A and B are shown apart, each in its own frame.
Chain A
Amino acid sequence: MPDWLNKWRQVRDAAADVLSMNRRNLGYVYPHNARCDFPVANDKLLCKEILQPLGVPLAKTHYSYRYFYELRTLAEDLKGLDEFVIKPASGSAGNGIIVIVGREGDEWLGISGKRYSLEAIQRHLSDIIFGVFSFDNNDAAIIEERVVQHEVMERLYDRGLADVRIILFKHEPVLAMSRVPTHASDGKANLHQGAVGLGIALESGRCTHAMLQGVPIEKHPDSGTVLIGVEMPFWSEILSHSRHIAEAVPLKYLGIDIAIGKSGPVLLEINARPGLEIQNVNRQAMRPLLEAIR
């Protein structure tokens, strides 16, 4: 057999193991996640509502606004709040999120150092309600408790919230990674925008690979912290919570994003169409793992 043909066959066989976009959609998302169940993943308010009674740790919702008239009370609502996070209920990729870490006089201080007046916050909330950050034409804005990050995660990078993403299929964890923001990602835990991806071994919760924009690295580009070998705090809790969550929602193929706070994991959101980059971050093709669960 010619060498190139041999090589091609090997590539083709290897390709069959990789979960591709087309196969993810046709083989996993469409058959296992009914469209009518997507709101659980898309709407963080709904998600909280469903999971609250089950004892899943969630960031406390201070206020939520679905209609413009509800914003009339905003000044009153924010009176006692110096630290909070503003989120669109149906946002994605970390867009539309503002993290407020303190107050100075009439203004609030964002985690990036930017200052927000009451009007600026009100405008941002209106934008969210108007659906600027979601696919629909309207959305709800959430003001919730700010998760103060566990010091292990804080040491990796302290200007944004890192998260742990676990993909589960039929309630079983398949792959896990952690996304650590960078200056380049503007504090967002979004790989495409330049966050670092940590491949996490499911059994140990230890970081086995670290990847920045597809290139293997060993240290965080901004903090310089060594990444390989870092152990995620509360790992067994994270796994058991994810299983719990997966059993509670109707989605059978999903990504669960969890932040690690000082006193334990906190659910950030559920994703009905989790991305494929997790395979690169872990240097692990996902299909054999999924087939084993089937």
Chain B
Amino acid sequence: MGFKLFLLDYPLKGLIPQQSYQVELAMEVDGHGDRIQMQAFLPRSDARQLIIEEQQATGLFTQNLQSEGMNRIASWEGDGVQGHQEVRYTVLVQSKPVRYELPEGQSIPAHYPPSLQPYLMVEEGIQVDSPLIAERVEQLLPATQERTLAESLTTIHRHLQDAFENRNFSGYTDALTALKLGEASCNGKGRLFVALARKLNIPARLVGGFIMEGGSKRTSHQWVEAYVNGHWVPFDTINDHYAEIPANYLTLYYGDEVLFKHSSNVNFQYRFTTTKRLIPRYEAQQTLGDSIFNLINFYTLFERVGISQDLLKVLLMIPLGAFVTVVFRNVIGIETFGTFLPALIAAAARETGLVWGLIGFILIITITALVRKGLDWLQLLHSPKMAVILAVVVVVMMMMTVTGVQLGLFELAQMTLFPIAILAITAERFAIITEEQGVKKALHLMATTAVVIAACYAVMSSLFMQSLFLAFPELLLVVMALNMWLGRWVGMRLMEYYRFRHLLQSGVSNA
């Protein structure tokens, strides 16, 4: 590890947590038994924003992803959709602010390569050819004076920022309407900016996105980009960002598009929910694998056979989770169902979240144990009975998935990754313990197991730990060493201080 740190110049700094945003987009519809289609733009990674992790809960809908130009479009379709249904998309983003210094004194180029031509053309809502636009351009930047690139953009930006009222109107406003009214929302101002810039022969385009602020909201945002010396420079005349945008702007699409499209009469609603999280820089994780000094670049090896880094992270975390369980059992003295069960459930709870993972675990065990009690009157022999219980676990899990989808509880539907065999064994043990040592004891063991699962989850879902282990898989050796040390540790377990408290007190009074 030290070798990697000092000789290979590992980007350890990159492991220091960085502000990230988790954005959840929830789209709701009310179905009346017809076919429903929805469509939205999804973010893509670029120099400014990095998409780390995406998750979809599509419910009754089938999802289809496609690329169109620079945009990524997701569409969801469902047949015979009844009642209130939901599609959720969650993305983890790390983004940076950008700021450009525009070159002073440079004049507007007369010619651009053909690839930029679309960004100079007239569009339906961007009426570059309108006399009113020409008039306003002339008024702002008289043709008699020399128009420099920087000055032109500054003038347009200031004009839109200062002379136009911001309107909180969510409907469509074209460039001309905005110009006539002297007030507009983000999309109206954006179109007018683009129209004015294009009229001056500066390639410009609309950008659609979302401002990632804590909490939940039902609005998206638009801003613009102008082409300057090979760079697309952002401007936002609603929030007065000149040649810059802050880190919390999430770009979703380019061009004069509508963020959402959907079937009519479905009462479509959307909601963005942003949570800020501190996680290590993703690039750091990436560059670790790319280092040419890394003799065995085994992550790409894994990727070649279709094992994602995500799965690897889970794998690397399982021994750590088992260690947490060992600490609970041998140092604290809390009994659990099995040594591995808590770590495996915690790993599976990645998909469901902790609360639903625990609810799912408890439901599976209790339902299966109840069914197993019901099997008692059949007086089955042990092995066939275990096989029946295994099947019951699978059925219970599938039923929970179906119920989860029906009720819109997508987290519950993600439970298919639970370790089936271990759950079957646990359900059997749970049932035996209720019989031999009473229901109270069994419930107690269930509760302590749940606590340990939560602890495992806390450690295993920590992105810091995940990145650390991904960067330094040799840390598994440290985990092994710690386990070995605990394996030779003869100290008193915390719970034993309580168990033998009378002995300890009398020991104190004797002393």
Q: Could you tell me which A residues sit within 8 Å of B by CB distance?
A: 7, 10-11, 13-15, 17-18, 20-23, 26-27, 93, 95, 123, 126-127, 130-132, 137, 192-193, 214, 276, 279-280, 283-285
Contact = CB atoms under 8 A, between A and B. Distances in A.
Chain B, interface SS category: helix
- What 7 A-B pairs come out closest when comparing CB atoms? A14-B507, A23-B490, A20-B492, A10-B508, A130-B382, A14-B504, A18-B500
Given A21-B333, A283-B506, A14 B511 contact: yes
Contact of A22 (B436, B437, B492): B492
B385 to A, nearest CB: 9
Interface string B496-508: 1101101111111
A14 B379 CA distance: 51
Nearest to A126: B381
A291 to B, nearest CB: 13
A7 B499 contact: no
Contact of A18 (B488, B489, B503): B503
Given A130-B382, A193-B437, A10 B490 contact: no
A65 to B, nearest CB: 15
B506 to A, nearest CB: 7
Given A18-B504, A26-B488, A123-B379, A13 B511 contact: yes
Contact of B490 (A11, A20, A95): A20
A285 B382 contact: no
19 contacts: A7-B508, A10-B507, A11-B508, A13-B507, A14-B506, A15-B507, A18-B496, A18-B503, A20-B491, A21-B333, A21-B496, A22-B490, A22-B493, A27-B490, A123-B379, A193-B437, A280-B503, A284-B503, A285-B503
Contacts of A214: 499
Contacts of B497: 11, 15
B406 interface: no
B483 interface: no
B502 A280 contact: yes
Contacts of B499: 214, 276, 280
Contacts, number: 80
Contact of A132 (B382, B490, B493, B511): B382
Nearest to B432: A132
Interface in B369-413: 379, 381-383
Interface residues on B, range: 20 to 34
Nearest to A24: B490
A22 B490 CA distance: 5
B75 interface: no
A5 to B, nearest CB: 13
B492 A15 contact: yes
B309 interface: no
Contacts of B437: 192-193
Contacts of B493: 20-22
Contacts of A193: 437-438
A132 B497 CA distance: 34
A14 B381 contact: no
A279 to B, nearest CB: 6
Given A10-B507, A10-B508, A131 B491 contact: no
Contacts of A284: 503
B330 interface: yes
A146 B436 CA distance: 22
